[in-house]
Structure 1
Amino acid sequence: MSVEDYPLSRRLSLYLPSQPTPLAREFVDFALSDEGQAIVADAGFVSQRLALHGAPLAENAPIDYRELVAGAERVSLNFRFGSGAGFMDGKALRDLDRLREFMLEGAGAGREILLAGFADSGEIGAYLAVRLSEERADYIADQLALRGLRVARSRGFGGVLPVAANDSEFGRERNRRVEVWLRPPLNRP
């Protein structure tokens, strides 16, 4: 659920003014903290704590996608993009730091990062959609590198494997994503 691939998922957003009161800042910081997210989970909502899941692959998943994620587990977040290559949504900026923490101190420690980029099928032609999805995956890899994380592999897959119909902006936004997968390090000579 936290990857927002399900049609009935909906984000709950907290907004602060440019100069929030100390109490408002403290509340938002608490809500986003591990302690606050534990309360979210206890209340029956989906917390933003990162976790690893053995995600089932769609039967129509391309072979190169299957090869990329073979032996890997999916991280419970997606990076979402607006139309075009480098415009991430607001949640994605916080997710970069959450992923860094997860890789350094959480269940991701010692694992290799794999990125799979996707586009919505209506953005452009099939070839350019693959290029755009590769640019998105590379952009996330660059952002993670700025945070001291190395991506083992990143690939773009264009408009394949949509998670929502492309007939609305809501669906297209769901399909413009970069998935994060982690695997144990490969033994290389």
Structure 2
Amino acid sequence: MGVAKAKGDEEAQPSTRVSEDELFDVLSNHRRRYAVHVMKREDAGRLEIGPMAEQIAAWENEVALSEVGYEERKRVYTALQQQHLPMMDDAGVVEFDKDRGVVEPTPALADVDLYLDVVRGKEIPWNEYYVGLSAFSLALVAGVGLDVTPFSLLPEFAWMVFIVVAFACSALAHRYYVAELELGDSEAPPELDR
């Protein structure tokens, strides 16, 4: 886990920042994303690996928690204990006590308000959408400024309101979309809700 030491401090303080590379490494595996989701959803501090592994196994196998079998749970438990939680501990996202089988979120995990902006099928990425909306708005302003028909049919103020409303509605839609993808804010991880 990374530590930050202030000048003159004898005692190292845990870092509350995780580098982007470490964060992407942590979130590159679905089991680690599921673990983050469980910890952010529970918001309970220390968690035992057993219940975490059982919940993750239920999500992976698309079954109810009560239907998770011993082998499914054990497979996830072993992977969490030997690979995923130690990696998350090294990155500074959690504190993992392998001997006691407990994991505790760090302040760095609490600061991770992450969403997965996954583009599927024929969706347009939000950054491209906003570039297009800006280009459209610029063309609209140019048309109004040059007094070109049909832009001259409405007052300039109406076109300004139209542009502001278009951006406001887009921002609200984007915020709603992002809120659905945040880890820990729903019962199941965002990638399973779709």
User: When you count helix as a share of all residues, which structure comes out higher?
Assistant: 2
User: When you count strand as a share of all residues, which structure comes out higher?
Assistant: 1
Rg larger for: 2
